[in-house]
Structure 1
Amino acid sequence: MSTTTSHTPPESEGQSDGTAPGAGVRPARLIQNEATTEIPVHLLFRDGPDPVRMPLGPAVVGRRQDTGERPRPGRPVPVRRRPLPQTDPELAERPARVLPGAAGLLAGACGLTGALVTTWWAGLLPPPPAGRAFGLPAYPGHGLGLAHWAAYAGSGLLGAAGFGGLARGRTGRAWVLGLFGRYRGTVRRTGLLWVNPLLPRRRVDVRLRHWRSEAMPAVDPDGMALRVVVLVVWRVRDTARALLGIDDHETYLRECVEAALARVPVESAGGARGGTTAAGDALTRLVAEETAPVGVEVFSVQPVRVEYAPEVAAAVHRRRIAALDARQRASMLGSVVDSVEDTVTRLTTRGLVELDDYDRKVLVRDLTVAFCSGRGEPV
């Protein structure tokens, strides 16, 4: 598409550029020495006869580097972090309602007593002297009726609820209770307790635990493949989120450790002493941030064994052997040269021999061969 409309700048601008008014006038410079100026962008896009002029604000143009000009400070670019996993905000651990174990024992005893009394009331106790063992006098009943069956049902339910709800709370263990898919609370108390027998229980270990992983893939700062075994110290802090917020909190912890190893480089066995410690601190921080929203508290993630992957272990071993051999040869050669130099200097200084250039070269060669042979190294 061709454009027939032209733009003629004012004469003052043409003269300031050093161009005569009659000659071909260059367009005015849009960006001058100021750091902020207005750029008429609508002049660059004129597809129609009547372009739409859009009001533009000042555009900030940064200065070039290495020109002695200081750029205008701008807003810092925020660092985007990966969003942490989120669970149901209403899902948080809270204590469940339980009773002491004495209440369950009392209810069970009442149920048994009610059943015994109902049997006596119906006249079903064995005749004396066996009936006197219960401490009840003989009563000639008329058999089981509707009232007797109702009394039996009530006594049985009371006894089953009393004895069926008894539970023993242990130190370091907890129960997560639920009813019809709804979280009802967590029991962390110890001793003999009575818990509603209608509530399903899920036992969870809340002690401080450690997990030694299998060899996981990792890399060193140079990108070399490694196999790392880590020791993780952790515990369940929020039982509701750990058991109900995710499918399996132990599997989730294992996958978080593996993902952190893929992001944090680990120093190899021959690296710096503080490399493994720094990597452990970084791993601990990353895994703790990932597992905190799901109720798992991580205290330490430390590499306990770092070794090269099988596909690169042989090559790294050969490289280390070659480097060690090169250092030994360099040390041996330096000692041989020092010994030869000291020997020749002493011979010439004390006047024992008179050597010209040829004789000096021959003596140096013979001494070098002798010293190297004495050290067991080939010449």
Structure 2
Amino acid sequence: MNERPAASLPGIPSLVVLFFIGLIAVGTVLKGADMHGQPLMPFAGAILLGFLAFLAKGFFQVQPNQGQVMQLFGRYSGTERREGLRWTNPFYSRRPVSLRVRNFESSRLKVNDNDGNPIEIAAIVVWQVVDTAEAVFCVNDYENFVQIQSESALRQMAQSYAYDTHDDGRPSLRSHGDEVNNHLGREIEARLVKAGVQVVEARISHLAYAQEIAQAMLQRQQASAIVAARTRIVEGAVGMVALALEQLREQGVVELDEERKAAMVSNLLVVLCGDRSTQPVVNTGSLYS
């Protein structure tokens, strides 16, 4: 069922017409009361006034960014989106549906990522109704439907990615935010299209390891960071040692045999790669004594 425009008239002109007809009806009642020979005139005027009161039930207001879904004896008759005072068939029943942009934050879900690690994840979803007929008649409660289906899509998306980055370059929840958010938006959109709802934006608002493995994962991350830092330090130290030996050779500062070179390399690597500051030792002898 798709939305279609409802039949209605501008409210102000309709109100003016009913007002003048009401004046005529009141005049008929008063004139018939003065003319004793015309007993039907007051009765006709009273009937006309009652009919006008019934027609007045057809007036309704449409606020900005709102749609009025109309039904006639249970049958969908259309949706009025033109704002202001309107008039329509008094037999129509009307239900307002907000077309404003709305958002909500999902509850924190505990799911397993692609590696099987338990994580906690939550998301913020920005949405709005674009088809009032589908929102009202295709689902029982479209607001509750949006929330439940969004959390279902979030759970499905979280299982498609690992929490952290791997060496194989696969996208992860922590490092590929834009790709993950776009994937989440598509997953939610696919579930909400039948409810006449459009997803404006979806993004992760909370992401963490579950409490039972958080400490272990933190230690693993720290170990990985230490290894990466050590690797970079060693690479830099080896380059500096090679540069020092090359400049000593080119400038002829000192001639070193292989054993002295090995000793110099060992000392430089200790100085450059050590965690603590080194203590200088003055050698008063030679390398061989």
| Same fold (TM > 0.5) | yes
Mapped pair 1:155 → 2:49? yes
- Which 4+ residue blocks in structure 1 deviate beyond 4 angstroms? 141-147, 266-274, 333-347, 349-355, 359-375
The Cα of 1:119 is off from its aligned counterpart by: 2.4
Aligned to 2:21: 110
1:236 maps to 130
Residue of structure 2 equivalent to 1:376: 277
Amino acid at match of 1:106: V
Residues 1:99 and 2:9 aligned together: yes
Q: CA separation in 1, counterparts of 2:50 and 2:112? A: 66
In the alignment, structure 1 residue 190 sits paired with structure 2 residue 83: yes
The 3 A distance-change label for structure 1 pair 242 and 364 is: closer
Q: Number of matched residues?
A: 264
- The one-letter code of the counterpart of 1:253 is V
The letter of the residue matching 2:130 is V
Selected match of 2:217 from 290, 309, 316:
316
Structure 1 residue matching 2:181: 3-state secondary structure: helix
- Alignment check: 8 A CA contact 1:170 1:190 kept: yes
Q: Give 1:128's aligned residue.
A: none
Residue 205 of structure 1 deviates from its aligned partner by 2.0
> Following superposition of structure 1 onto structure 2, how do residues 1-379 of structure 1 map, counting pairs within 5 Å?
91-101=1-11, 102-123=13-34, 141-142=35-36, 148-158=42-52, 160-207=53-100, 209-217=101-109, 219-224=112-117, 225-237=119-131, 239-264=132-157, 265-266=160-161, 268=163, 275-298=176-199, 300-311=200-211, 312-336=213-237, 376=277
Cα distance, 1:245–1:377 mapped onto 2, change above 3 Å: farther
Q: What displacement does 1:106 show?
A: 0.8
Q: Deviations over 1:298-325 (max 9, x none)?
A: 4x45324352144244333322222112
Percent of aligned pairs sharing the same letter: 26
AA at the equivalent of 1:157 = F
Higher strand share: 2
Q: C-alpha displacement at 1:155, in angstroms?
A: 1.7
In structure 1, give the amino acid aligned to 2:17. Answer: L
* Matching residue's letter, 1:229: A
**TM-aligned CA deviation for residue 157 of structure 1:** 2.5
Q: Quote the offset at 1:153 in angstroms.
A: 3.1
1:259 to partner: Cα distance: 1.7
Letter of the 1:94 counterpart: R
Question: What value does the CA root-mean-square deviation take over the aligned residues?
Answer: 4.0
- Residues 34-64 of structure 1: per-residue CA shift (max 9 Å, x gap): xxxxxxxxxxxxxxxxxxxxxxxxxxxxxxx
1:77 match: none
What do residues 70-98 of structure 1 show as CA deviations (whole Å, max 9, x unaligned)? Answer: xxxxxxxxxxxxxxxxxxxxx43333332
Structure 2 gaps, min length 5: 166-170, 280-289
Change (3 A) 1:149 1:226: same
Cα pair 1:165 1:196 within 8 Å, conserved: yes
Contact 2:129 2:198 in 1 (8 A): yes
Amino acid at match of 2:29: T
For residue 141 of structure 2, what is the amino acid of its counterpart?
D
Tell me if the contact between 1:219 and 1:266 (Cα under 8 Å) persists in the aligned partners.
Answer: no
Q: Deviations over 1:94-123 (max 9, x none)?
A: 333323322343123312431243124314
Q: Which has the larger radius of gyration?
A: 1
Query: What is the DSSP-based 3-state SS (H/G/I as helix, E as strand, rest coil) of the residue aligned with 1:94?
Result: coil
Do 1:291 and 1:297's aligned partners in 2 also have CA atoms closer than 8 Å? Answer: yes
Tell me the amino acid that sits aligned with residue 293 of structure 1: K
Higher helix share: 2
Q: 1:376 to 1:302 in 2, by over 3 A?
A: farther
Q: So what's the TM-score if we normalise by structure 1? A: 0.56
Q: Distance in 1 between matches of 2:71 and 2:185?
A: 33
